[in-house]
Structure 1
């Protein structure tokens, strides 16, 4: 990376002959490097003093070029971390009104989906899994953990847990978990999801190909069968720059408000 940066920033005057402020020339060189993929989304730029040395310009020139690119959204600055190329991923919009799988969501958008398996196996349940799935101490849990990728962009880390009696062979899940559950008559019909904002830790950030400390959307989902039995406990970590969750809210009408008021009186 260091050698490639030296090539990118070497001799600004030679790369951009002619008049014009040096900071504008440096700004254009950074823009071209990003457009050509020489510097990718999430990559860190060298410190100001190093760019100034490689480009043979002042630190003031570097600072002005970087500030302009931050204003335009090409670069982002994180206090104490440095300057990075901003994500250029177009966020996927996910509505919260339907219970669908990731595979189904992406297929409806015409996106090519694949998974990278992080774990598939049968384990002793954790206390949290026992409570969520209603398991006894003698029962086992099936875990499937995978990186979900759409159009070659890492989107989410999904860690699902189910009773081993429901999914005795986790390796049977090759694409959609819900398709496998449907085949055995165990596809969930409703779910409760809790969404929270979080900061990505180093390992998860590496898997999602973003910088540690980047924002994420964490979702905990408990899914139910028609009978009311819990069938799935899933914790997912979504890249905040690649996913947007949308919910449609309706204001209750006067008649509904009156009914609620009457119920409160009763």
Structure 2
């Protein structure tokens, strides 16, 4: 790796800011295969010595790579080339579960449980689920992975009368609801950008601060009763969400 990081690789003039030159050098090495997923980068001090750049410049260049998801930093271990993640496109026009989405692609699904049980609801759960005084909420919090790669953190809340035994959910929540005749038929979903905090980034195997997608879903039964309030965080480097748009009927268009 020493031949990759040399002082001769950096131009004082004409090549742009030095931290961006370092960013491009490492990014090109990753793209060309000279640096492979899982490879460890030299430490900040070592990179500064090898390249003749200041540690501030090195830190800034590596931070750009972390922000773009090309490398990950593990506290106490170092900086590593991020594993390659296949980009998945998810349609927003279908009300499906993570398990169903992956099954359609022929992929295996794994769950790492963080919390599962009945709890006193938080104020936002009371509001979203329309809970009464003294009601309890079933919470399911887990990391959803496919073929060994963590893709999303899913935090689902349901009224206790909808899911009285959260431990019965082992794989697909919607399969359990279907078996009880309580599968939702419509949902309102909101998507926003998020930068992952240290805890969530660690669960997803990425560096703190990288881009993610926050998805909030409220799902309904045919009667209009709220059956599910789920807040999920998806890896920004793993998902594209797509929606089909159609021209409004002629009578509904603005003149």
TM-score bucket (shorter structure): 0.7 to 0.9
Tell me, yes or no, if structure 1 residue 99 matches structure 2 residue 100.
no
What's 1:199 paired with?
A: 195
Q: Which of 133, 140, 144 is 1:144 aligned to? A: 140
Tell me, yes or no, if structure 1 residue 34 matches structure 2 residue 35.
yes
What's 1:235 paired with?
A: 231
What's 2:243 paired with?
A: 247
Structure 1 range deviating more: 230-239 or 130-139: 130-139
What's 2:15 paired with?
A: none
Instruction: Compare the two structures and name the one with the higher helix fraction.
Output: 1
**Matched length:** 226
Task: Give the Cα separation in 2 of the matches to 1:253 and 1:150.
Answer: 40
Unaligned stretches of 5+ residues in structure 1: 1-7, 14-20, 78-82, 262-266
Q: Which structure carries more relative contact order (alpha carbon 8 Å, separation 6+)?
A: 2
* Cα separation, partners in 2 of 1:116 and 1:33, compared to 1, 3 Å: farther
SS in 1 for 2:35: helix
What's 1:46 paired with?
A: 43
Q: Deviations over 1:67-88 (max 9, x none)?
A: 9x97xx89579xxxxx874663
Alignment of 1:110-189 (within 5 A): 110-189=106-185
CA contact (8 A) 1:117 1:147 kept: yes
What is the CA-CA distance between 1:149 and the residue it aligns to?
A: 0.2
Structure whose alpha-carbon radius of gyration is higher: 1
Tell me, yes or no, if structure 1 residue 210 matches structure 2 residue 206.
yes
What's 1:4 paired with?
A: none
CA contact (8 A) 1:123 1:142 kept: yes
Alignment RMSD = 3.4
SS in 2 for 1:248: coil
CA contact (8 A) 1:45 1:84 kept: no
SS in 2 for 1:181: helix
